[in-house]
Amino acid sequence: MVVILGSPTPESAEIYAKTVTEGDPSWVGPLAGIALKLPVYHVLEPEVKNQFDQSLYDDQVGIMESVLDTDDLIKTVSKVRSEQ
Amino acid sequence: MVQHGSKPSREIQKDPETLKLIQSSLRSLNEAISYAPHQVMLGNIYPDTLSELESPWYENPTDSNSHKGPHGEIVGEEIFYGLIKGVDDFGLVSIEESFAKRSYSEIKKMGYLTGDLLQKIEGVPVSEIENRLQEDNVLPLRLGTGETIGFISTDYAEDPSLSPDILLENLTVKATATMALNSVLESNGVDPETIDYVIGSGEEAIGDRYNRGGGNLAKAVAEAAGCMQSTGADIKAFCCAPVHATVVGGSLITSGVFPNIAVIGGCSLAKLGMKFQGHLKKGIPIMEDVLVGFAILLGPDDQVSPVLRLDSVGRHTVAAGSVQQKIVEALVQTPLSKVGLKFQDIGKYATEMHNPEITDTAGSGNVPQTNYRLIAALAALNGEIEKGAESRDAFVKTHGMPGFSPTQGHVASAIPFLGHALDDLKRGNYQYSMFLAKGSLFLGRMTHMSDGESFILEKNH
């Protein structure tokens, strides 16, 4: 099982990435203190992007690559993943 | 009022100590007045100026200490509690008598609220407040200092739709919308008796156990504001409702059904302190500490006011789905091409205008910036601007603006720019402004969809 995030900011992506790995860092949701240790990726990461039919990806996600802080998002989520 | 916001009230219930933490992180009225984004709401500062001001804005107050501007007025707790009492037709709210006297004279000084509302602002002895607060189903009304000045109760304890917290939510909506409507009528020299129809566009559910969300706050506000010749109805569409309501209002005028219409939206009490935990964690003031109401007057062409282009209305159809790109295509690109305009013909786009200082500091990102970048990306896809971050950012700077609205749900959706857009269009700063709003329908658990609608305002030629 792999978790794919679409969160628009590095801050929110970090919260969701940690929620499905080490447990909800904000301690407000049902996964507080529960470490699922699931592999987590952002949909803008190349490992995910390359799995898609490219024209479909461009149609559905492509524009967000130029809108969001893609590099920061990739850095943030891959860091959480590597800390597992 | 922050303690009555949804998130704070739930957290206070879990840990009563949270109330003290909240009280110690609240801003004073003067701090809220001199806060730059609020001065933009009042119309004393143009939105673009925000990017030139030193940030964070909460640490760099503006020189302006004016509580009034061409687009509105900000009032403190003393007036606000009096207003709630003044719009309470069922004796639900009680406030202390000396407080009520001060409140009455302050509200009278404002000059534009009607006699009936003023007459209802009467107080009760402190002892009555203390006694009633011992009972169940009675909620205290406190000042930011923690001092209790009154309470709200229910007249039917068995009905969860009429519990004191829900009645408080709905009375704050009525109070803010009434104040906004009377203020707009007065500042435009419009006799309330000439209004034919009032359309409510807030999100709050008004009704009892048999008709929760039954609504028509519009007519309640019409009555409180003295619009005696009007009726009204509410349009419910989450944050998108003000744009839907404006389009419906324009259509009723154009079709000749009703010539003079007011679109109103009260505040959103539930959203006070929504992200207070993020703000406390960062050691910054709780900035979701203001309630906002608005009113818009629509009428036949007066040869001066900007024109609502009904042929430009954009809609997020069911078929458009939930992909951001498709939504913005439906709301921006399709209507532009329908009326033969290009992306850059729109002087300013008004989108979800949430103040990024509130959302960014609590991990929710910069909402308007993301929206403006999406519009820029579509302009680039259509070959109207160069691809790349540089031209994207230039487009955003010219045709967008920094967010400045309190995170008051439907209030934040495009409407806060309306006053500025009317000024710009009247002065001829540009020919067109586009308003687009989106609504998170999925929050109600009846569909996974979101919603959106848009319209273009044009300079009156």
Full domain range(s) for residue A17: 3-82
Which residues of chain A are within 8 Å of residue B364 when distances are taken between CB atoms?
9, 12
> Is B370–A8 a contact, with Cβ atoms under 8 angstroms apart?
yes
pLDDT, tens only, B58-81:
999 998 889 999 999 999 999 999
Q: What is the mean pLDDT of residues B420-425?
A: 98
User: Scanning every residue of chain B, which has its alpha carbon at the shortest distance from the alpha carbon of A13?
Assistant: B363
Chain-centroid distance, C-alpha B46: 18
Which residues of chain A are within 8 Å of residue B365 when distances are taken between CB atoms?
8-9, 11-12
pLDDT band (50, 70, 90) for residue B115: confident
| CB half-sphere exposure, B188, CA atoms < 13 A | 21
Please give the pLDDT value at position B361.
73
A1 at interface of B, judged by CB pairs closer than 8 A:
no
A11 at interface of B, judged by CB pairs closer than 8 A:
yes
pLDDT band (50, 70, 90) for residue A25: confident
> Is A66–B365 a contact, with Cβ atoms under 8 angstroms apart?
no
A33 vs A23: CA distance, rounded Å: 5
Q: Are B1 and B272 in contact (CB under 8 A)?
A: yes
Q: What is the ipTM of this complex?
A: 0.73
What domains are defined for chain B?
Answer: 2-33+75-298 (3.40.47), 307-458 (3.40.47)
DSSP conformation letters of B410-437 = GGGBSGGGHHHHHHHHHHTS-SEEEEEE
The secondary structure of B221-240, three-state, reads HHHHCCCCCCEEEECCCHHH
pLDDT, tens only, B157-216:
999 999 999 999 999 999 999 999 999 999 999 999 999 999 999 999 999 999 999 999
A24 at interface of B, judged by CB pairs closer than 8 A:
no
From residue B74, how far is each of B100, B147, B301 by CA, in Å? Answer: 19, 21, 30
Count of domains observed in chain A: 1
Among B113, B110, B46, which residue's Cα sits nearest to residue B74? Answer: B110
Tell me the CA end-to-end span of chain A in Å, nearest whole number. Answer: 15
Which residues of chain A are within 8 Å of residue B395 when distances are taken between CB atoms?
none
